[in-house]
A and B are shown apart, each in its own frame.
Chain A
Amino acid sequence: MAALLAILIGCLYAAGVYMMLRRSLFKLILGLVLLSHGANLLIFTAGGLTRAQPPIIPAGADAPVVPSADPLPQALILTAIVIGFGVLAFALVLFHRAYQTIGSDDPDELRVSDG
């Protein structure tokens, strides 16, 4: 399972980088989305995939049933998803505004500010 996920993560990263290299602001955003999804899945996989109990301590006991899953990677991913969602929403608005102002979807048109 971990190997399968590793391949999937690799594909997401590759597709993300490929999309970012295309000459289109819209595809640039898609690339960023794929990259952040890849990173989230990476945390999930690196955190350890186990078939285990939910990490809940039963009533009366003072330790969870072993083996129990590690809840922390999921908490990290949840945080990262929320942050990523906010940032990408902003990026979409920014890129749309830039498209309206500059009148082009081509990243090469951005070169002016480099001088």
Chain B
Amino acid sequence: MNVLLVLPLVIPLTTAAASLLAWRRLPLQRFLAVAGAAALLAASAALLAGVWTNGIAATQMGGWPAPFGITLVADLFSAVMVVLAGVVGLAVAVYSLASLDEPRESFGYYPLLHVLLMGVCGAFLTGDLFNLYVWFEVMLMASFVLLALGGEPDQLRGAIKYVTLNLVASALFLAAVGILYGLAGTLNLADLAGKLNSLAEPSTVTALAMLFLVAFGIKAAVFPLFFWLPASYHTPPVAVSAVFAGLLTKVGVYALIRVFTLLFVQDVGYTHTLILVLSGLTMVTGVLGAAAQQEFRRILSFHIISQIGYMILGLGLAGLTTSTALATLALAGSVFYITHHIIVKTNLFLVSGVARRLGGSFELKALGGLYRGRPGLAILFLIPALSLAGMPPLSGFFAKLSLVQAGLGAGQYAIVAVALVVGLLTLFSMTKIWAEAFWKPAPADSALDSPPPDLGPRERYTLLLPIGLLAVLTVTIGLAAGPVFTLATRAAEQLVNRDAYVHAVLGGQR
């Protein structure tokens, strides 16, 4: 058994259990939360290093050989996602120390955060569709409670929509899994990859693919199934918003990329064209939705949707080109984009929390003067904001560049044009936040009269340290785009070349 594959699940579980035992001792819970997240990051980095040197790792739980037991698999894509979960987990755990109010902290926030991380890591690592459903539910259950924790009316309103839509998605996912089992007699991803190609009725498989597209599309907030996201993401405390924005929809994107590169590649002309069209519509509706908003976190929420479009753009392109090199480039663009997006988006949400702390509101109208009072924070906002819009030399530029290259290579000029225009509109949204919250003078009645309220020394570190580190990471990815892109390319090669995955799971059986 490969311990590295199990550690990203065991560490959050142990941390959550230990925090539950320390229910009445908040300082200990806080320490455990940060230590557990750091351990998760370390373990995930070790996993990534292991997969990088030794190739795809697979482990059979309980010693049952695949495809009968539950398999955990880590290819480079999974490993990168787990590392990102570790990064977000650590940043948010540290940020929570100063940003969360004590009632929420004392009602199980830290254990829930780690259960959420466990669900996310499990979804990234599993090699079995039903097991994926279970990890989804673990993650959802924790996210439901995190979203509603505190019980403010707006939170409850958001939570009802979030819970309902996610339960519907789960029911659809479950139905799809059941039909797939009836069709192929297995739910092991690697085993399915072989069996789906030899089925008598390819049209049934395509119909199933659509069911999966809807189920994962709701979770990933793809057009037209995104409306639950802007209705709920701005309601919980900032730390919760940040971890949701960073990780949850990306689990849906991960699942989409996994099943549409490994399983449903029979009728790419139909399925992947649809994905491409959806990606364009997702980008456009997301960014237009953001343009209409005047609240910091709601703008950011709509931008999540628009960015999801870019991520599945690479997936659509990869299916529609016959050249392996282009498909690899497109998927590498997607992987790079997800990496960049998770870091940047988490960071922007964290910044919005500090702006709220200083300016007393999330409404852009009530904010202002932050640049004069806090130039350092303004710079920390500007780095992820410009990166999100795709300014060189930040990470977002290279992510968009590879997608655009792949799109031009595949001859999909329309979608490339859409992607570029949406990039410009993103810049418009970010400058709106910049001008309103940071540049314009503070409104007369705001809390920011001058000088702005000071952060305590402890707050300063716990709030600004994660933001600073994530910003450094964004710049690093931009400046060291070469190595990161090599990593993304190798991850994409493993996605395109399905035999390596199948072989790693099933061994020499076929």
Residues of A participating in the B interface, judged by any CB pair closer than 8 Å: 20, 25, 28, 32, 35-36, 38-40, 42-48, 72-73, 76, 79-80, 83, 86-87, 90-91, 94-95, 97-98, 101-102, 107, 110, 112-115
Contact = CB atoms under 8 A, between A and B. Distances in A.
Given A43-B181, A94-B144, A98-B157, A115 B298 contact: yes
Contacts of A90: 141, 144-145, 163
Q: Is the interface of A mostly helix, strand, loop or mixed?
A: helix
B178 interface: yes
A39 B178 contact: yes
A76 B164 contact: no
Contact of B156 (A76, A87, A98, A114): A98
Interface of B: 130, 133-134, 137, 140-141, 144-145, 148, 151, 153-154, 156-161, 163-164, 167-168, 170-172, 174-175, 177-179, 181-183, 230-232, 234-235, 293, 295, 298
Contacts of A79: 130, 134
Contacts of A115: 293, 295, 298
Given A76-B181, A94-B144, A94-B148, A110 B157 contact: yes
Given A43-B178, A102-B156, A113-B161, 11 more contacts: A32-B168, A35-B168, A36-B167, A39-B178, A42-B174, A42-B175, A43-B177, A46-B179, A80-B133, A90-B144, A90-B163
B140 to A, nearest CB: 7
Contacts of B156: 94, 97-98, 101-102
A95 B234 CA distance: 19
B408 to A, nearest CB: 38
Interface centre among A44, A80, A86 (most CB of B within 10 A): A80
Contacts of A87: 137, 140-141, 144, 167, 170
B151 A72 contact: no
A51 B174 CA distance: 25
A19 to B, nearest CB: 12
A83 B141 CA distance: 9
Contact of B174 (A47, A72, A80, A113): A80
A91 B163 contact: yes
19 contacts: A25-B160, A32-B168, A39-B174, A40-B174, A46-B181, A80-B133, A90-B144, A91-B163, A91-B167, A94-B144, A94-B163, A95-B160, A102-B157, A112-B153, A113-B161, A113-B231, A113-B235, A115-B293, A115-B295
Contacts of A72: 181
A32 B172 CA distance: 11
Q: Which 8 A-B pairs have CB atoms at the shortest separation, nearest pair first? A: A46-B182, A43-B178, A98-B156, A113-B157, A39-B174, A35-B171, A110-B157, A39-B175
B407 to A, nearest CB: 33
A22 B426 CA distance: 38
B161 A110 contact: yes
Contact of A76 (B178, B231, B234): B178
Contacts of A28: 164
